[in-house]
Chains A and B, each alone.
Chain A
Amino acid sequence: MTGTIAHSALLVSVGVLALGVILTPVAVRSGRREWLQLVYGAAYTNFLLVTIATVAMVYALVTHDFSVSYVASVGSRSTPLLFTIISLWGALEGSILFWAWVLAMYAAAVVWLHSRKQGNLVPYATMTMLAVAAFFAILLVGPADPFRPVFPVPADGPGPNTLLQNHILMAVHPPLLYMGYVGMTVPFAFAIGAIVSNEATSNEWTLLSRRWMLASWGFLTAAIIAGMWWSYEVLGWGGYWAWDPVENASFLPWLTATAYLHTVMVQERRNMLRVWTLNLCVATFVLTILGTFLTRSGILSSVHAFTTGSIGYYFLGLIAVVLTATLVLVAGHSDRIRTPGKLGGAASRETVFLLNNLFLTAVMLTVLVGTLYPLIAEAIRGVKVSVGEPFFNRMTIPAMVALIFLMGVGPSLPWGSTTWADARKRLAPPLAGALIMAVIAIAVGTRSIYALLAFTFVGYAAMGNLREYWVGMRARRRAHGESWPTALTRLVRGNRRRYGGYVAHIGILFVAVGVTASSAFRTEREATLLPGETLTVSGRTVRLKGVWGREEPQRSVIGATLDVLGKDGAVTGTLEPRMNFYRVSDQPVPTPDVKSSIKGDLYVNLMAFEANGANATIKVIVEPLVPWIWFGGLVIVIGSIIGMFHSGRRAVPVRKAPASAPSDPPETAPEEEIAEALT
């Protein structure tokens, strides 16, 4: 019954979406703009219908309705309620349904917020989103139908994948990822809408797509960090990033989205790079679909390859359609999209943005080629290969270290052009930060040249970004006599995107410090301990207290209890790494235990144990500054929230600064503050 209702809702939504897609050009061309209300109505109706299907699925999961095929494949009466609900996104069909629902929500939100705008941009953007939604709706009524009837109805099911039901972050990471991934459809839709409606040179689409991109980027960043955290807490190897195809799939669109968020500023300020930003929008969207293809087709082996099936090839088809359509559109309209803007001087912010884009694109291509290479090698040379971490690390770390440096240079330089003397004056102060960090890094014994450079550049960039705040606040205090807190809030409110961006930079720097320190100074040891025996790793000591077992409804748990000993030998805490044996799988799921502090983590994993509990093999890993990564993620999210709620008014255009303005002291507030102070 539930299945029938949901399936019918999805069938109707295919029709509604098709109607919306066809009606848009008809309404625009014939000038019957009142018909557009039907297109917008299609977006709302689709949201309603997919919501019905999603609620039906959750209801079927919760009530253990095993007559629904998806529930029969991932449900189980013994799974706790929370994990039963979140198994909605635990396997292929459910995750497609969830994707469709998030997309329907985005499309409805776009219509709700922007449909009163003039022009043809929003109609065509809506049409694009409805077309993508139709693709997912077709998957849901055909090859990925989660509501197929099952007969005879089984009494119980296997439960969700054991890796997915082992940690609470599975309730957090996937929704964030879908919000980010699916959200990338909106800027793409605006890009297509802008070309089709001939409004690519207006600033309207830039403004809209930029805001949606920033929101999706914030979600995607949070998702990537949450995914790293999940991997760290569940997989038991003490790492958070392994250049696994699925990790790469989430990282690729993040890189192009980051590049977009930077060049779009150049486009607004200097009226150039319009085709490039447009392509970045399209590339980001295509990479999200490619990522879905890679992870959902099972053609690449991965720890995350939870689902396999032929459905992947539909995504390949979608990519082909999108790329062809974009190519045709951009080529057909190129004369109207190209922009006359000219690059300023060499020492200017836009030059740094260009370099930023160059490095981000290079990293993206490297990761893309590395991820796809096993497929290429097997197809062309007939050999099975894997591209390991060394390739990705060696190829991308130099570019990423350079990007950290640029993060300090960009904010310090003005738009347009400046003299070298002025540039030197602006770029010099953050060197103090670089020096401090370099000294600290050497003092703690940093050996690797890249780690040393990373720490140094983090110091430089941190100082560079914080200094922008300091300079702006001081200018406001001088001009208005405001108190420091007032100056800070008014400064940020005056240009949320800019100061939100600096907050995001600081967040990235926290992540960079955490990643560099935890990989450069990681120490680990493994030993088999009898109860009472100790194991010491870089000054941290644990003592095995004993091994125990426990029965839970859906699993058996074997754990080891370890005392953490302080310097004086006193017990300062306990750790309980476990191994969870789910009824449905012969593979136990490791559940390491972590003791975190601002200085770093003590990570303990149970590797093996004697069946009678006589001993346990324990791996102890000491990783400095890991929590800084999670904290950095939070800071980035705060930065994107600040940047998202800007007033929508265009930033004050640059007045061409006379090239001969060396008298302009470097401490002067940037253009915006001056312009603001004058109003």
Chain B
Amino acid sequence: MKKKWIAGGLVLMVAVFGWLLFGGLEKNVVFFLTPQELLAKGPEGVGVPVRLGGQVKPGSMVWDAKTLDLRFTVTDGAKEVPVQSTGAPPQMFRDGMGVIVEGRVGQGGVFHATNLMVKHSNEYRAPAPGEEAHEKYKTLMQQGTL
């Protein structure tokens, strides 16, 4: 009899734990979407946290160093989503590069990013000629250390 109670208690505990666990997952999962998939969601996509993946549209990046306001457009070739963020862009942020932005779409269809990730590939790429740091920042290199 006592054993039955213990077994029943265990089953109940596991059930409650599983319910909590998967309930927590449902609420806290962040979907990974492309601009096309995000826009296809329409009003349902507004206000929910998502990860948006795509490329930085060439020529779309505007950064105000004073206010740290950063704007660019993420595109997947088919559709595009304007993104706004606060903070410095990663140093090597440039046109056409793969990015993942985390945040949510606000009213007006602008994506407010709280987190900006540059897509790292494992096979990292050597900088293109002329893009090497010692070329790009020649003046700083010549000045040397403070």
Contact = CB atoms under 8 A, between A and B. Distances in A.
A586 interface: yes
A668 interface: no
B31 A384 contact: yes
Interface string A532-565: 0000000000000111111100011011010000
B32 A385 contact: yes
A615 B65 CA distance: 9
B28 A588 contact: no
Given A395-B21, A526-B87, A587 B120 contact: yes
B87 to A, nearest CB: 5
Interface in A605-662: 607-613, 615, 617, 619
B139 A613 contact: yes
B92 A587 contact: yes
Contacts of B124: 161-162, 584-587
A550 B141 contact: yes
A387 B28 contact: yes
Given A388-B28, A528-B68, A556 B133 contact: yes
Q: Is the interface of A mostly helix, strand, loop or mixed?
A: mixed
A377 interface: yes
Given A362-B17, A369-B21, A526-B68, A386 B51 contact: yes
Contact of A548 (B17, B21, B33, B143): B143
Nearest to A617: B88
Closest 10 CB pairs of A and B: A549-B140, A581-B133, A391-B28, A607-B88, A384-B32, A608-B88, A556-B133, A549-B141, A528-B65, A617-B88
A228 B91 CA distance: 24
B24 interface: yes
Interface stretch (A198-206, A265-273, A300-308, A481-489): A300-308
21 contacts: A366-B21, A383-B31, A384-B31, A385-B31, A386-B30, A386-B32, A390-B28, A391-B25, A391-B27, A391-B28, A395-B24, A546-B146, A548-B145, A549-B142, A551-B141, A556-B137, A581-B133, A584-B126, A611-B137, A612-B139, A615-B65
Interface residues of B, number: 46
A57 interface: no
A528 B66 contact: yes
Contacts of A608: 65, 88-89, 91
Interface string B50-81: 01000000000000011010000000000000
A306 B120 CA distance: 10
Nearest to A547: B140
Given A526-B87, A551-B141, A584-B124, 14 more contacts: A373-B25, A373-B29, A384-B32, A385-B29, A387-B30, A391-B28, A556-B133, A581-B134, A585-B124, A586-B92, A586-B126, A608-B88, A617-B88, A619-B88
Contacts of A303: 120
Contacts of A579: 91
B95 interface: no
A583 interface: yes
A217 to B, nearest CB: 25
Contacts of B118: 587
Contact of A545 (B28, B88, B146): B146
A383 to B, nearest CB: 6
A507 B122 CA distance: 37
A298 B136 contact: no
B95 to A, nearest CB: 13
A526 B63 CA distance: 14
A571 to B, nearest CB: 14
Interface in A292-336: 298, 303, 305-308
